[in-house]
A and B are shown apart, each in its own frame.
Chain A
């Protein structure tokens, strides 16, 4: 194979790897935005929290409870961390955001920004600003797979497949189940859904929890790849915002597709002009804004 082609494919794989994270995060953001009209700035911080929960479960929890031999590993963390982060999200919705409904959505953006700072600050204090490696990567996912054009770590392959499955599952839940139907109906006409006797406030809380949980899940998946650091969500959230502006908040699938596509574009950009890779998304955003102000999949609200 032509070495250039090889490199493009290889960077594309890494881009896909990033893309599934973008997809999962913008998915959660879109779900929350759809129902609550809240742009959750803390989404990146929740992602980071998810990664830390995994790290704590593995490396610290045992010590805290005086059983230093205890390491709660990756698989349990994959379940526990989203639940913990989801619960945190629900508390946040229930005790903070709820007071801001009906006000300009800018306030909820600012509130979640504040939450972001607090979470970041706390984790910096307890774990310092640099990354801590996550040692709990499961044995079964160690090693590489030969893709023909590159050696690709098994774990990353797992992340790509798993995330796509999660996105599809979320899509399925939202598009094909009764709960999803309630959510969609609530997005369209919350008043009427309330009039049917559905506890919309509770539904909102649970949805927020679910969206947050997705961020937490992405965090756990990221932990073994990137070292776990308090700032890991900070730069990501801005990229996710750009993804959202490009894709529009229109559809669940739109969020996922845009996320993955942008990851790929970013990856391939690395081949040609690496320094621009971090910014190519923002340039794309400008172009999309000029051509389609409502975003690719957006409807104006």
Chain B
């Protein structure tokens, strides 16, 4: 029996002695400062809606990374959770007049449930099959998004009201909306950071690196994988819900497989299995789309080429390469 099945994703061979560890800590601190500083100050320098979009996708990518980077499972159907939650939140806000935060929670709950079903089915097969199955299941979700009466089919759910936070703060004010999104992002990011650095996270990493061994140590790996899947789906849902409030829109684009591909690109580009990588990756991809939109559909070519370059030349991603270059364990 072949037991060397640990995935080679994010294979670091950099040495990290004690010196590397201190350096790693310093660098992490730098990243934290940069991140929080950026989140707080960005709307003064950049178009706030653009930054909100960035943050939503960054959260989405981080949630996705929880699965691929820290559990070693490539889901090719994460758009289902992102888009699905967007629809649920949109509907709750539009039709039932639910306030924003309960709306987001509803979306997240939906994604969690959906994640449970998809995850339970998909973990029956491994590796490449896992990817194909998640893709196909996401396609079913897409079908429902297209067919169910409340989703508005190809029109999408339009004009979702942003509403008032705690009945007080008007989210139609751009800056209010912005800081709400920033808060959601930071909370989500912290949750992910905590999951990675929890006892549970340790087991996930063990499973990623050597599943049979983890199994022989008495860990019910399928259960852990499923929980990780559900967590990832839930947070992806939070990102989707928030985005639907920002743009007042839930549409098929959010649930389309190309979205699943984009989130993979963001994560890969930033660095699979790194903490800050997906944020950086999301920034690069969203900014690329934004600034390249002038050249129209060439965007897709550029995105595709980035994908190829990433896979061929720097599989560790921007942050992963940086970590290796600075010889620190993880960022």
Contacts and interface: CB of A to CB of B under 8 A. Distances in A.
A and B touch in the complex (CB under 8 A): yes
A46 to B, nearest CB: 14
A100 B308 CA distance: 11
Interface string A98-131: 0110011111011101111111111011000100
Contact of B307 (A113, A241, A244, A290): A113
A180 interface: no
Contacts of B297: 121, 124-125, 129
B315 interface: yes
B8 A103 contact: yes
Nearest to A38: B128
A105 B127 contact: yes
Interface string B2-29: 0000011100000000000000000000
A289 interface: yes
Nearest to A118: B304
B155 interface: no
B304 A275 contact: no
| Contact-size category for A | 35 or more
A280 B136 CA distance: 11
A26 B307 CA distance: 24
A215 interface: no
A116 B304 contact: yes
Contacts of B135: 238, 241
Contact of A39 (B132, B136, B308): B132
Contact of A114 (B76, B136, B257, B305): B305
Given A121-B298, A242-B136, A282-B137, A107 B128 contact: no
Contacts of A99: 312
A283 interface: yes
Given A107-B315, A282-B140, A117 B300 contact: yes
Nearest to A117: B304
A124 B298 CA distance: 9
Contacts of A113: 261, 264, 307
Interface string B106-131: 00000000000000010011011101
Contacts of A115: 304, 308
Interface of B: 7-9, 74, 76, 121, 124-125, 127-129, 131-133, 135-137, 139-140, 143, 147, 257, 261, 264, 268, 296-308, 310-312, 315
Interface of A: 39, 96, 99-100, 103-107, 109-111, 113-122, 124-125, 129, 238, 241-242, 244-245, 275, 278-279, 282-283, 285-286, 289-290, 293
